[in-house]
Amino acid sequence: MRASSSPLGERGRHSRWWLTVSAFLLAATATGTGTGAALGSLGSLALSGVPADVRVALVGAALVVAIGMDSAPRAVPGPRRQVDERWLDRYRGWVYGVGYGSQLGLAVTTVVSSAATYVALLASVLVGRLGWGAIVLGCYGAVRGLIPLAAAGVRSPHGLLALHRALGRWRARARWGAVAAQGALVVALVLAVA
């Protein structure tokens, strides 16, 4: 998606980059929000008698498991499929922007690169409220919706290659940054319940 959603790629397909990226961001955010609302509602029904401190402990435990999974050398379990690249030739930019954004906002319909994805899904259930679930996964979807902005400066094939090299160099840093962020959340949860 990074390569295809650059200004260079969109110009080659006679689409407007800003429109495709806006559709992607809005769809990822809206889909995440809707999924979170549904999961929060499910949590309100299924977990009505579960105390808040137990729910917080479950999120903390899930974070510890996620840290272990993200620290391991093998890939996190989950789907291995990417978005359908044939859409790029079949549809207008805003259409595949909505389609791709919606898939990423759903969290588990494409490659799951971090176990934090599963923690976000679990947290949206454990908050036990429609609105809070919507906020949890809406934020998740919005963050995923910002991904195409990494390619905002790509105007030439050389720039696209440079972006891919830079992303490759940042892959390990991003992975360990995610692990550190999850660790910080565990600490915050421990302090919140202490």
pLDDT at 42: 97
DSSP collapsed to 3 states, 72-85:
CCCCCCCCCCCCCC
Q: What pLDDT band is residue 4 in, cutting at 50, 70 and 90?
A: low
Mean pLDDT along residues 171-190:
93
Residue 111 half-sphere exposure toward CB, CA atoms < 13 A: 8
Measured CA to CA, the distance from residue 28 to residue 106 in angstroms comes to: 7
pTM: 0.88
The answer to whether residue 180 scores a pLDDT higher than 90 is yes
pLDDT at 3: 58
Measured CA to CA, the distance from residue 114 to residue 119 in angstroms comes to: 10
